[in-house]
Every structure is written in C-alpha cells, then in structure tokens.
Chain A
Amino acid sequence: MKEILSLDHVSYTYESEDGESRKAIDDVSFTVWDGEWIAIVGHNGSGKSTLAKMMIGLLFPEEGSVNVFLEKLDAENIWDIRSRIGIVFQNPDNQFVGSTVQDDVAFALENNGVPFEQMVPRVHESLAQVNMAGFLDHEPHHLSGGQKQRVAIAGALAMQPKLLILDEATSMLDPQGRDEVIKVVDDLKRTTGLTVISITHDLEEVLLADKVIVMNDGKLMLTGKPEEIFAHGEELEAIGLDLPFASRLSRYLRQAGVEIQGEHTTEEELVNELWTSHFNK
C-alpha cells in the first residue's frame, strides 16, 4: 500500500503573549495509507485543527516532520502539495470565495493556472460528484449550509486531489445537511478511492472510518479501528468524548451483570447479540 501522509514525531507550540506556553501538539506520529478513511477525534482544544493546519502547510512543526506523498513538507514544495490536497473547514460561509457556485468551484483552478478549456468540464464534473450539478449560478446566500459544504468539497475535488481533509466540516450543519455531506464523501471514497481524513465530533462519521485517532491535550492517546476504540469506553468518556448509544448500553449492561461478548457500535449488532445470547448458554 502506498503512503499518502505521515507525521513523524511532530510537536507544535503556539506563541502566547502571557508567556505560558503549552504544547498544542506533543510528539504525534501516524501514517495514512492510500484509500483509507481516518477519523480524528478529541475534545475542544486537543489540537485537531492544529494537526490539519500542519498537514496543509499553514503551520510548520517545531520538531519532527510532516510528509505528504512521501515528500517532506517545506516552504519549497508547499504550493505544489496544496494543489494535491483538498481541505474543507468548519464554517460554510467563511470559505465561499466566489460570487456564484461555479465561480467558487473554479477558484482553485484559476489560482493554479488551469487553462479555461479544462476548467469548464472540471467544474461541471466536480459539481456532479457532489450532487450539485443544477446549482451552477446560485449565489451562496441562497444555499443551505450542507449545500455550501458540498460546493466546498467540489471546489477541492476540481483539483483532483488524492487526499481530502475535513476539519469539522459537518459540525455547523443540521442533521439533514450533515447526512448529505457524509453521504457524498462516502460515495466519493468508494468510487474514486479518495483518501479521507475527517476531524469530527460526529459518531456516525467515526463509525464510517477505517481507523480512528484519538487526541487528548495535544497527544495521540489511542488509535485503532472504531470498534477497538469504543472498547475503551471509560477512558474516552473521561476525556469528554461521546460514545455511540450501543457502546454505552453494552457497558451499562455489563456493569449490571449481563454477559456481552463482542464490542458493538451499532444498535443492530447489540440487539442481535442480545436476542441470541439466551440460546448460547
């Protein structure tokens, strides 16, 4: 498998006026492989956005190195690497640069000097990929939050990136908008093999991931498959994270003396075990 991105013993400290500086990122290492969906979770201020900013070269680590597409990220190759990574941020309004949907999708293409003849088909394709093909001339204030975020994804896709980073891209959306966005990313991942790093508070998104990275106070606390992560229920709750309903219920049941074998993250799995458990005795 090909390596897409790796952090190698990365640390970062923000300079603060009061002199009291705490590491925002403290010795974090991990590798992201081609085609993976990674979820990064952690409480507020645990350093998730700082990580994202380092991946796209908005911040450079004080210690360690960030490698993207097997190249060490530095001031030299930063524009080239940015053109191959898409990133979508939290606030749908504050990242809409163009005056209409199509202008916004074309923004990165314009910046990278893509000729006009290639821009038009790419804009249309990208918008079709996020199910926004019919909105070419819409203005941002006539779109819902979910639609704006999908346009932002299309804007990233227009550059045909290998890696898409979502920094809480769904956290300001209503449930419907969130579902639309998650579905679009999920489809993309399946059809194009896009690598996705999604920073999120949303449990549904976490469950879709191949691998979860849990951040706590700038340190990498846990990493593993979603089921493995949610097996550490108490530790996660101790650092202020939510658990899926099924995980929480399994734990309470266990505490109450009900024998439960596996780790369940969906209600269906749990129900399946519960209604068959009697026979297994």
Chain B
Amino acid sequence: MLEKMIFGRYVPGNSFVHRLDPRSKLLFIFLFIIAVFLANNTMTYGLLLAFTLLVIFISRIRLYFLFNGLKPILFLIVFTLLMHFLFTKEGAVLLDLKIFKIYEEGVRQGIFISIRFLVLVLMTTVLTLTTSPISITDGMETLLNPLKRVKLPVHELALMMSIALRFIPTLMDETDKILKAQLARGSDLTSGTIKERIRAVVPLLVPLFVSAFKRAEDLAIAMEVRGYRGGEGRTRYRQLNWQGRDTLVIIIFIVLVAALFWLRGGS
C-alpha cells in the first residue's frame, strides 16, 4: 500500500511533459511555486488555473491518477473554503442564514486560496506523475551540484536517495513476509488495547531492522568491491540532456510571470 503511495505515482508516457529534462521540470515547479503568490485578483488566479489545466491537458495524464494525487489534499481545500465562508466578514452580504452571514469577500478569498492550493498540488502531482523518482533524483543532483562548493554532499545524498528508492520494494516484501510469519505464530495486530498493539509491533520491527542492517552491510561490501570510492572521478551512466523544449519551458515561465505582473491588481 505504501508502495502505491510512493511509486504508484509515476505513470510512464510519451507526452511533451514526460519527455522534458527533469532539471527543467524541477526548476519550473520550484519557480512556479513562488510565482503563484503573485496572483491577487480574479484575472491572475484565472490565468494560473487555466495554465495548470493546459499543462495537465498536454501531459495527457489520466484524470483518475490526478484525482488520486489530489485526494489527501481535497479535505484541506474544502476546509479552507468553509473557514473563509464562515469567518471573513468583509464586503456585501451574499446570503443571510440567520445564524450567520456569508460575505462577498469571504467567498472571494476562499475561492482564491483554494485555487492557490489546487494549482500547487496539481502542478507537483503532474511532476511526480510524469517523472520517475530516479530521474527526479538525477535532476536534483545536477541542479544542486553548485552547492558542493559549500560542502553539501550532493552526490552522497543523491546516491542515498536512489538506494533508498531501490530498497523500498525489497523491504516491503520483507515486512510482508515477517508479518505473515508472526501472524502464523498467533501474533495479533488488529485487536487489543493500544499498548498491546504497540507491543505486537515489536516482534515485527526487530527482525526487519536486523535484516536491514545485514543488507546495508552486504550492500556496502558489494559497492566497495565494484570500486565505489565516493563521487570523486566518477562518470555518469545516466545522461541528462537539455534540449530546445527545456529552454522553451523556461521561456514560457518568464512569459507567465510577465503576464501575472501585468494583470495583477495594484495593492
């Protein structure tokens, strides 16, 4: 299940968005998150929403996957919307329900904030749906490369990340196996007081940790005998290549920001 939460996300495809270099995508998303805060009126929020929908359309993601990514955040959006409806008391009264009144400004603010949320979540979901975790790691590594000068172990972090991603399914299988072995021995994880349940988890975690350490040791040996000595002097098998379409993405971003500034209401 957890595997689905992390991996079920990437859906291979061949759209314009899929084929972009992970660096341009990461850069775009990062800047986009900042740019979203430029919006402050109907026009600008409308533009952001339209742009996001356009990206989704271009990426040809099935809406089902998108909605899955959205589910956990939906509650938050509805909650913010309601809070604004109930507690913002500015502008004309739209609806008078005796117990409370809904004001125009409340509705406006509520909708704006919801769009902001929605746009951010949709965009990052598009990123994770169209980019494999390993590409994201690769992109991060190259983008963060300049930080090596300030002694940030960029290569090591990226390697750790990719090994962690690679071992998640293995450890999942293992957890499953241990769980079944303990269930077969009469361990009960689904009933009893919280204390009892926590106690039942211990026999699950201990073998899992023991084996994870054993794996880590084996892996370290396997890496060493294959000549791993850290990032120094290492070449890369995975090549990223920045193409025309990646530059286009950055130009589109600049145009978008210009448009946001232009349509933005003075404040």
Chain A residues with CB under 8 Å of chain B are: 56, 58, 79, 82-83, 85, 87, 89, 91, 93-100, 102-103, 106-116, 119, 123, 139-141, 155-156, 159
Contacts and interface: CB of A to CB of B under 8 A. Distances in A.
B162 to A, nearest CB: 6
16 contacts: A56-B225, A58-B221, A93-B215, A95-B218, A97-B163, A97-B166, A103-B134, A103-B238, A106-B237, A109-B235, A111-B227, A111-B229, A115-B235, A119-B235, A141-B169, A155-B226
Contacts of B234: 110-111, 113
B223 A82 contact: no
A111 B234 CA distance: 5
Nearest to B165: A99
Contact of A91 (B169, B218, B238): B218
B233 interface: yes
B227 A83 contact: yes
Given A58-B221, A89-B222, A114 B235 contact: yes
A139 B228 CA distance: 21
B196 interface: no
Given A94-B218, A94-B219, A116 B239 contact: yes
Nearest to B237: A106
Interface string B171-185: 001000000000000
A18 to B, nearest CB: 21
A95 B235 CA distance: 20
Contacts of B229: 79, 111
Contacts of B237: 102-103, 106, 109-110, 116, 119, 123
Contacts of B236: 110, 116
A102 to B, nearest CB: 7
B215 A94 contact: yes
B224 interface: yes
Contacts, number: 86
Interface in B193-231: 214-215, 218-219, 221-229
Contacts of A141: 169-170, 173
A79 B219 contact: no
A97 B223 contact: yes
Nearest to A53: B221
Q: Which 8 A-B pairs have the closest CB atoms?
A: A94-B218, A95-B222, A106-B237, A111-B227, A141-B169, A108-B226, A99-B134, A99-B166
B227 A108 contact: yes
A155 B222 CA distance: 11
Given A113-B233, A113-B234, A107 B166 contact: no
Given A93-B215, A95-B218, A99-B165, 18 more contacts: A58-B225, A79-B227, A82-B226, A91-B215, A94-B214, A94-B222, A103-B238, A106-B237, A107-B223, A108-B226, A109-B237, A111-B227, A111-B229, A115-B235, A139-B166, A140-B166, A141-B169, A156-B226
A156 B227 CA distance: 11
B89 to A, nearest CB: 54
Contacts of A111: 226-229, 234
Given A111-B226, A155-B226, A93 B170 contact: yes
A139 B219 CA distance: 17
A155 B237 CA distance: 13
Nearest to B170: A93
B157 to A, nearest CB: 15
A152 to B, nearest CB: 8
A250 B228 CA distance: 50
Interface in B144-179: 162-163, 165-166, 169-170, 173
Contacts of A114: 235
Contacts of A58: 221, 224-225
A119 B236 CA distance: 9
